[in-house]
């Protein structure tokens, strides 16, 4: 293993269960995402994909094993440190309903900069949070002039997902976690969305961990693997 | 450092649910209006009550109950149980340490206003609030037998002016079947407003009252009559309703009170106004407390409506909480967000309620004063109102802890997975 850079994600001997006595949802011996690497992780519904992302993001408490996100020990660090790492260095895109309904598009995109001074500072190279948000929106093919003040719920699902991508990318996070972000999109929009997302990750140097049940997306990525290959707990469980 | 844009999010989130938020805040506003309104009127009523009579050491009337005597003689509420004889009045007047006395004779009315038979000593000795004297706005005291002085409210409502005439009817109601219409009284004076029942009174001379009951006309002036004429026509009446007593020094009040109460020739009763007021207020106080309690419960209902509104929205907002968590919000941020939403709604409601209260008071104060002699002293929000706004907001924040706790638990359990 190279020591050149801190891995974006490093998991060793991880076990996770929602309750102490329930069977583990995750039981992963080894998993790693390198900095800037774009990884596709396929998994059926209920196989623990979202749980894995929650664990990596430091939202779910892990009792057993080692898990690092961008060098932060998400298994042992206190909750404040984990929350801070997430605010400063992670971007998350959900399956749908990514946006706060009461904030207009522009505010939604800039939100991470309000949570994190580091993210706000990182936008300075692009002229500050607002300028960077506009830049990202146009890169994701949403004209800021038209959409900046638009109500989030007035957007189509595809547009909402692109706004979510812009929000995840603002302030140059080092790792983007995407949880089935294309499942509500039709094939054309799906491919376009992925292309844009990959492009932006590449230009900002962020690593991307993209989980989906749709194996057809695999060719877009640097590396693709099936959750069942690494998760011993998920085998035999489909929903 | 991770920061949480709490006020911004709370405000935007509340504004997003505008209709619900508005209704919830309105519920709080109405409850706060009720509470503050009750408090204002309560304090106003109490102040007006306590300010009604001052500087009188004793009130003497027929034996009934102290409250009853106080009510009919000073507040003009209810009817006198019995009259007392002029002889008794003179006997008490002549007692040592008595500085002055003012006889009062009730039982007649003029277009809904009580007619008080008395003499000019009333205007000299009756004091209200902090020993304030009665003042004439127009004209002056009583002159001949058929002269009258009226209170400010009577003048206002009936549009009377000095020099005009009025007719007295028998009985205390607004409409009376027995009109002494052959006896017009001439107005000699109008009193300045006092905020007491004086404003709603018509004052005439005792012999004036006697004269109309005897059927004498205004041509027959009894003022200078000697005692040689028949019994009913002389300047001094047979009986009066009550009289006010002023003493050389107040310390003599208790002794004189005891003497009056044990007066052998007639069943008399003397009361010390201050003590009777306290006694009366203790009776009203129970109702007053109940009223405050009811108003407080209405405020509580308003606060619970905030709780309901937030709890109802909680499930549909689990996504929102998960998004916030993913952005770096800590569980206690979620807690703080919901608590501040509750506080925000309550604050808006309480401020609106306070504004509503004072708006209503500005409109209603003249009516309260005119109709019920309740003077609202303060027509601008003060420290007390600020305290109420703070208390309501604080209580809402406290109650908001309940949905906030649930959201906090949810956000821990849900993680980033949005399950709905």
* Digitized pLDDT (tens) for each residue of chain B, 420 residues in all: 456 778 788 888 888 888 989 999 999 999 999 999 888 888 888 887 788 888 899 999 999 899 999 999 998 888 888 899 999 999 999 999 999 999 999 988 888 899 999 999 999 999 988 788 999 999 999 999 899 999 998 999 999 999 998 888 766 555 555 555 566 899 999 999 888 889 999 999 999 888 877 765 554 444 444 433 344 444 678 899 999 999 998 889 999 999 999 999 999 999 999 899 888 888 888 888 888 899 899 999 988 988 888 888 887 788 888 888 888 887 888 888 889 999 999 999 999 999 999 999 888 888 877 666 676 777 788 888 999 999 999 999 999 999 988 888 877 766 666 544
**Which positions in chain B touch A107 (Cβ < 8 Å)?**
12
- Answer whether B3 sits within 8 Å of A116, measured CB to CB: yes
Please enumerate in sequence order all residues whose Cβ is within 8 A of that of B274, keeping only pairs 6 or more positions apart, or say none. Answer: none
> Is B1 in Cβ contact with A117 (below 8 Å)?
yes
- Which residues partner with A207 through β-bridges? A175
Q: For chain B, give every domain's residue range.
A: 6-49+285-414, 58-271
If you write DSSP's letter for every residue of chain A in order, what string do you get? ---SS--SEEEEEEEE-SSTTSPPSEEEEEEEE-TT-EEEEE--TTSSHHHHHHHHTT-S---EEEEEETTEETTTS-HHHHHHHHHHHEEEE-SS--S-TTSBHHHHHHHHHHHBHHHHHHGGGGTSHHHHHHHHHHHTT--HHHHTTSBGGGS-HHHHHHHHHHHHHTT--SEEEEESTTTTS-HHHHHHHHHHHHHHHHHHT-EEEEEES-GGGGGGSSEEEEHHHHBSSSTT---
- Which residues have CB under 8 Å from B275's CB, separation 6+? B66
Can you name the residues that pair with A42 across neighbouring β-strands?
A212, A226
Q: Is residue A101 part of a domain?
A: yes
Is A83 in the B-facing interface, judged by CB distances under 8 Å?
A: yes
Domain that holds residue A131: 37-59+88-230
User: In angstroms, what separates the C-alpha of B311 from chain A's closest C-alpha?
Assistant: 18
CA distance B145 to B155: 20
Interface contacts (A, B; CB < 8 Å): 87
User: Which residue of A lies nearest to B322 if distances are taken between CA atoms?
Assistant: A98
Partner-chain contact A114 B418, CB within 8 Å: no
What's A204's domain CATH number? 3.40.50.300
Q: What is the pLDDT of residue B172?
A: 57
Q: Is the dihedral of CA A195, A199, A200, A205 positive or negative?
A: positive
Q: Which residues of B touch A (CB under 8 A)?
A: 1-5, 8-9, 12-13, 15-17, 319-320, 322-331, 415-418
Torsion of CA A4, A6, A11, A13, to 10 degrees: 60
A92:B4 CB<8 A: no
Q: Is A151 on the interface with B (CB under 8 A)?
A: no
What's the domain count of chain A?
Answer: 1
A19 touches chain B (CB under 8 A): no
CA-only gyration radius of chain B, Å: 31
DSSP reduced 3-state for B85: strand
Q: Which residue of B has its CA nearest to A46?
A: B417
Chain A residues whose CB is inside 8 A of the B330 CB are 79-80, 83
Q: Do B330 and A86 touch (CB under 8 A)?
A: no
A162: in domain: yes
Query: Given an 8 Å threshold on Cβ–Cβ distance, is A97 in contact with B418?
Result: yes
ipTM (interface pTM): 0.82
Asked if residue A75 belongs to a domain, the reply is no
Sites in chain A below the pLDDT cut of 70: 1-4, 234-239
CA B380, B382, B385, B389 torsion: positive or negative? positive
DSSP per position, A49-107: HHHHHHHHTT-S---EEEEEETTEETTTS-HHHHHHHHHHHEEEE-SS--S-TTSBHHH
Contact B2 A79 (CB under 8 A): no
Q: How far apart are CA B345 and CA B393, in angstroms?
A: 8
Which residue of A lies nearest to B323 if distances are taken between CA atoms? Answer: A98
CA–CA dist B289, B23 (Å, integer): 29
Q: Is A120 on the interface with B (CB under 8 A)?
A: no
Instruction: DSSP letter for B277, please.
Output: H
């Amino acid at each position: 293993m190279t020591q050149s850079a801190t891995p974006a994600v490093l998991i060793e001997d991880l076990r996770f269960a929602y309750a102490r006595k329930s069977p583990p949802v995750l039981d992963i011996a080894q998993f790693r995402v390198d900095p800037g690497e774009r990884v596709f992780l396929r998994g059926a519904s209920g196989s623990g994909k979202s749980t894995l992302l929650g664990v990596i993001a430091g939202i779910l408490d892990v009792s057993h094993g080692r898990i690092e996100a961008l060098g932060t020990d998400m298994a042992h660090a206190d909750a404040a440190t984990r929350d801070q790492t997430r605010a400063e260095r992670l971007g998350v895109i959900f399956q749908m309903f990514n946006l706060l309904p009461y904030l207009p598009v522009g505010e939604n995109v800039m939100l991470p900069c309000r949570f994190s001074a580091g993210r706000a500072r990182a936008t300075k190279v692009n002229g500050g949070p607002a300028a960077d948000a506009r830049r990202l929106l146009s890169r994701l093919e949403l004209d800021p002039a038209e959409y900046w003040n638009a109500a989030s719920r007035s957007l189509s699902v595809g547009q909402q997902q692109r706004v979510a991508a812009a929000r995840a990318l603002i302030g140059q996070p080092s790792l983007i976690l995407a949880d089935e972000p294309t499942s509500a999109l039709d094939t054309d929009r799906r491919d376009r969305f992925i292309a844009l997302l990959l492009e932006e990750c590449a230009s900002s140097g962020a690593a991307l961990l993209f989980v989906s049940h749709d194996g057809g997306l695999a060719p877009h990525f640097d590396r693709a693997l099936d959750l069942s290959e690494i998760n011993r707990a998920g085998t035999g469980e489909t929903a | 450092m991770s920061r949480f844009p709490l006020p911004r999010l709370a405000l935007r989130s509340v504004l997003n649910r505008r209709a619900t938020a508005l209704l919830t805040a309105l519920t709080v506003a109405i409850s706060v209006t009720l509470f503050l309104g009750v408090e204002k009127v309560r304090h106003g009523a109490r102040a007006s009550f306590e300010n009604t009579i001052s500087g009188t050491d004793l009130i003497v009337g027929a034996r009934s109950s102290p409250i009853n005597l106080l009510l009919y003689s000073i507040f003009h509420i209810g009817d006198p149980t019995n009259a007392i004889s002029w002889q008794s009045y003179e006997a008490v007047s002549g007692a040592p340490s008595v500085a002055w006395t003012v006889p009062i004779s009730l039982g007649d009315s003029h277009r809904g206003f009580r007619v008080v038979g008395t003499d000019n000593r009333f205007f000299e000795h009756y004091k209200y609030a902090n020993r304030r004297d009665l003042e004439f706005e127009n004209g002056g005291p009583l002159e001949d037998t058929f002269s009258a002085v009226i209170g400010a409210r009577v003048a206002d409502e009936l549009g009377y002016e000095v020099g005009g005439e009025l007719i007295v009817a028998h009985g205390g109601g607004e409409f009376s079947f027995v009109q002494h219409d052959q006896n017009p009284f001439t107005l000699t004076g109008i009193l300045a407003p006092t905020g007491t029942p004086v404003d709603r009174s018509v004052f005439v001379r005792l012999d004036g009252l006697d004269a109309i009951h005897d059927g004498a006309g205004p041509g027959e002036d009894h003022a200078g009559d000697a005692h040689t004429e028949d019994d009913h026509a002389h300047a001094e009446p047979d009986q009066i309703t009550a009289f006010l007593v002023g003493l050389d020094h107040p310390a003599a009040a208790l002794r004189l009170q005891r003497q009056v109460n044990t007066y052998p020739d007639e069943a008399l009763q003397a009361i010390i106004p201050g003590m009777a007021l306290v006694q009366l207020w203790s009776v009203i106080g129970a109702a007053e407390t109940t009223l405050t309690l009811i108003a407080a419960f209405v405020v509580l209902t308003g606060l619970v409506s905030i709780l309901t509104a937030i709890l109802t929205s909680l499930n549909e907002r689990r996504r929102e909480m998960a998004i916030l968590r993913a952005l770096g919000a800590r569980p206690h941020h979620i807690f703080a967000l919901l608590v501040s939403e509750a506080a925000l709604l309550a604050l808006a409601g309480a401020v609106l309620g306070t504004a509503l209260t004072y708006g209503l008071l500005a409109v209603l104060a003249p009516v309260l004063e005119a109709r019920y002699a309740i003077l609202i002293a303060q027509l601008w929000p003060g420290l007390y109102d600020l305290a109420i706004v703070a208390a309501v907001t604080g209580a809402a924040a406290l109650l908001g802890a309940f949905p906030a706790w649930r959201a906090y638990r949810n956000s821990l359990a849900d993680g980033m997975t949005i399950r709905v």
